[in-house]
């Protein structure tokens, strides 16, 4: 891939140029680090990964799919705002890739697709694992970006990863310099991120060690809310009490960790036991999705562990599991 050089003193100038053409979304530090619309380039915080993932900009937490009035269906106007997302780590870029597989390849979701269409992805490569819970290095993440920024002490190296990225590099060419440097595969490895030792967990479904996690689990759903790849949702029709012919259909995030997620007519719950729900999330992330798409759904960001109220480290639990007879 083509690589350009960006002097560190030119970074703010690059961001300012982006702001002329896009709404720029970047990690900002407040109560926690969040991806938010940027006003001042000096506010960008790259010292740690964002606590909340980027997915809400594409797969919205609450979204009106359509409104109805008697027999008339009113579909909301799909978004068309051009956005440049700056400071996305390799894990979050791959999380977008995996959600693209679901919402654009498996099904054509018009709402997700519209939000992704005019989005430009500019990554920021971690030189070291930004959290003790990271394990992205265990999952062989792919290159999936328009531009990727590598911090090389005195300068930034900027790798072009797509036609969109090439167009951006050409448009803002005055800020970049040509260089003969390349980014090696070794440089893309992130020290301290290779925590998950067991890549195939298919033999451990009935292992007694799952109890180490389920005994601490509150079934609160924090893990799925903070996960950049989880895509479970529910749809609900809401009508006005003043006129039951008027209302709207909404899509809301849901969680496989909640009993009601698998509740059906007759009050039967398919995954009633906490251990079944706990294991289902991890097997979907590391096994079930991989069986269909050849890659794990999980990207190893560690948010589910860091944000867990009881700090359940399922990676540590898996690493200590041994195959049990019978």
Looking at the structure, do residues 217 and 171 belong to the same domain, yes or no? no
Which domain-ending residue is among 178, 193, 210?
Answer: 178
**Burial zone of 45 (CB within 10 Å; 0-12 exposed, 13-18 middle, 19+ buried):** middle
Closest CA to 323 of 202, 145, 212, 184: 202
DSSP state of 3: E
Looking at the structure, do residues 230 and 153 belong to the same domain, yes or no? no
Looking at the structure, do residues 131 and 95 belong to the same domain, yes or no? yes
Residue 325 maps to a domain: no
| Count of domains observed in the chain | 2
Looking at the structure, do residues 87 and 161 belong to the same domain, yes or no? yes
* 147-152 vs 3-7, strand pairing mode: unpaired
Looking at the structure, do residues 136 and 214 belong to the same domain, yes or no? no
Looking at the structure, do residues 60 and 102 belong to the same domain, yes or no? yes
Looking at the structure, do residues 206 and 174 belong to the same domain, yes or no? no
Which domain-ending residue is among 178, 193, 216?
Answer: 178
Looking at the structure, do residues 20 and 116 belong to the same domain, yes or no? yes
Residue 229 maps to a domain: yes
Cα–Cα distance, 84 to 249 (Å, whole number): 30
Residue 80 maps to a domain: yes
pLDDT computed for residue 243 by the predictor: 87
pLDDT computed for residue 326 by the predictor: 53
SS3 state of residue 308: coil
φ, ψ of residue 3 in degrees (nearest 5): -125, 135
Residue 67 maps to a domain: yes
The token pair that represents 273 in the structure block: 């036991």
Which domain-ending residue is among 130, 145, 178?
Answer: 178
Cα–Cα distance, 33 to 12 (Å, whole number): 20
* 177-178 vs 3-7, strand pairing mode: antiparallel
Looking at the structure, do residues 145 and 208 belong to the same domain, yes or no? no
Q: Which helix (H) or strand (E) holds 276?
A: helix 274-283
Looking at the structure, do residues 209 and 174 belong to the same domain, yes or no? no
Domain residue limits at 102:
3-178
pLDDT computed for residue 194 by the predictor: 94
Looking at the structure, do residues 164 and 285 belong to the same domain, yes or no? no
Residue 195 maps to a domain: no
Looking at the structure, do residues 126 and 23 belong to the same domain, yes or no? yes
pLDDT tens, position by position, 189-245: 999 999 999 989 999 999 999 999 999 999 999 999 999 999 999 999 999 888 888
Neighbour tally for 187: CB within 10 Å: 13
Stretches where the chain sits below pLDDT 70 are: 325-326
């Amino acid at each position: 891939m083509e690589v350009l050089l960006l002097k560190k003193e030119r970074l703010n100038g690059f961001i300012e140029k982006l702001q002329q053409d896009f709404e720029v979304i970047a990690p900002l530090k407040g109560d926690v680090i969040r991806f938010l619309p940027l006003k001042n380039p000096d506010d960008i915080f790259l010292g740690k990964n964002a606590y909340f993932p980027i997915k809400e900009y594409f797969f919205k937490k609450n979204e009106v799919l359509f409104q109805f009035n008697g027999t008339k269906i009113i579909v909301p106007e799909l978004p068309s705002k051009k956005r440049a997302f700056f400071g996305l780590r390799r894990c979050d870029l791959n999380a977008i890739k995996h959600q693209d597989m679901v919402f654009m390849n498996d099904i054509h979701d018009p709402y997700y697709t519209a939000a992704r269409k005019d989005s430009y992805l500019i990554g920021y490569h971690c030189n070291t694992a930004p959290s003790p819970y990271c394990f992205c290095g265990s999952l062989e993440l792919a290159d999936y970006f328009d531009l990727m920024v590598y911090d090389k002490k005195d300068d930034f190296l900027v790798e072009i990863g797509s036609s969109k990225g090439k167009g951006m590099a050409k448009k803002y060419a005055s800020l970049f310099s040509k260089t003969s440097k390349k980014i090696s595969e070794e440089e893309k490895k992130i020290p301290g991120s290779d925590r998950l030792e067991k890549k195939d967990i298919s033999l451990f479904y009935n292992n007694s060690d799952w109890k180490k996690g389920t005994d601490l689990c509150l079934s609160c759903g924090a893990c799925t809310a903070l996960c950049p790849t989880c895509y479970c949702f529910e749809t609900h029709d809401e009508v006005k009490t003043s006129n039951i012919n008027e209302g709207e259909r909404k899509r809301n995030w849901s969680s496989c960790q909640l009993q009601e997620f698998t509740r059906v007519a007759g009050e039967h719950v398919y995954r009633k036991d906490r251990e079944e729900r706990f294991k289902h999330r991890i097997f979907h992330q590391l096994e079930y999705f991989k069986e269909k798409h050849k890659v794990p759904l999980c990207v190893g960001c560690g948010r589910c562990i860091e944000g867990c109220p009881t700090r359940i480290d399922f990676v540590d639990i898996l690493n200590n599991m041994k195959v049990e007879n019978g």
